[in-house]
A = this chain, B = another copy of it.
Amino acid sequence: MPKTETFDRKQVLKKATEIFHSKGYNGTSMQDLVDATTINRSSIYNSFGNKLGMFIEVLTYYQNDSNIHFSKKIATTYNAIDTIKGVFDAVVYDIIKDVDCKGCLLVNSTSEMVNQNDTIRSFIENHQDRMLAFLEDIVIRGQMERVFNTEVTAHQYALYLYTVIQGLQMTGILHKNKEKLTSIVETVLKSLE
Interfacial chain B residues near A170, Cβ < 8 Å: 107, 110-111, 163, 166-167, 170
- How many Å lie between the Cα of A170 and that of B162 in the bound state? 10
- Kindly report which residue of chain B lies nearest to residue A175, judged by CB atoms: B159
Is there contact, CB below 8 Å, between A115 and B101? yes
- Kindly report which residue of chain B lies nearest to residue A108, judged by CB atoms: B111
Interfacial chain B residues near A184, Cβ < 8 Å: 156, 159-160, 163
Contact of A125 with B by CB under 8 A: yes
**What does the 1/0 interface line of A87-115 toward B look like (CB < 8 Å)?**
00000000000001111000110111011
Is there contact, CB below 8 Å, between A116 and B159? no
Question: Would A163 and B156 be within 8 Å (CB), given that A26-B27, A111-B107 are in contact?
Answer: no
- Kindly report which residue of chain B lies nearest to residue A27, judged by CB atoms: B26
Number of interface residues of A (CB under 8 A): 45
Question: Would A156 and B173 be within 8 Å (CB), given that A26-B27, A111-B108, A115-B22 are in contact?
Answer: no
Interfacial chain B residues near A152, Cβ < 8 Å: 183, 187
- How many Å lie between the Cα of A166 and that of B171 in the bound state? 7
**What does the 1/0 interface line of A5-26 toward B look like (CB < 8 Å)?**
0000000000000000011101
Interfacial chain B residues near A112, Cβ < 8 Å: 24, 27, 108, 111-112
